[in-house]
Chain A
Amino acid sequence: MKTLVAASVLFAGLALADLPAAEQKPEVVPEAAAPKHPQGIENAGAGVISGGWEYVYAAYTLGTLGVLGFATSLFFRRPKAQPERTS
Chain B
Amino acid sequence: MTAESRNRLIAVGAILVAGAALSWIAFGNIGENLVYYWKPSEMLAQGDKAYGATVRLGGVVVPGSVQWSPEHTSLTFDVADTHQPAAPKVKVSSEVTPPQMFREGIGVVVEGSFASDQVFKTNRLMVNHSNEYRAPGSDGGMPSDWKGSLSQADTTTEK
CB within 8 Å of B: which residues of A?
29, 33, 36-39, 41, 43-50
CB within 8 Å of A: which residues of B?
66, 68, 71-73, 75, 96-104, 106, 147, 150-151, 154, 156-157
Contact, CB under 8 Å: A45 / B100: yes
Contact, CB under 8 Å: B150 / A47: yes
Min Cβ gap A74→B in Å is 30
Which A residue sits closest to B105, measured CB to CB? Answer: A47
A-B Cβ contacts below 8 A, count: 59
Which chain A residues border B157 with CB–CB below 8 Å? 45-47
Contact, CB under 8 Å: A33 / B100: no
Contact, CB under 8 Å: B97 / A41: yes
Contact, CB under 8 Å: A33 / B101: no
Some 30 contacts from A to B, beta carbons below 8 A apart, are A36-B96, A36-B97, A37-B97, A37-B99, A39-B100, A41-B72, A41-B73, A41-B97, A44-B72, A44-B98, A44-B99, A44-B100, A44-B102, A45-B66, A45-B68, A45-B97, A45-B98, A45-B100, A45-B102, A45-B157, A46-B100, A46-B151, A46-B156, A46-B157, A47-B101, A47-B103, A48-B100, A48-B101, A49-B101, A50-B100
Which chain A residues border B150 with CB–CB below 8 Å? 47-48
Contact, CB under 8 Å: B97 / A47: no
Contact, CB under 8 Å: A45 / B103: yes
Complex-state Cα separation, A43 to B97, whole angstroms? 10
Which chain A residues border B151 with CB–CB below 8 Å? 46-48
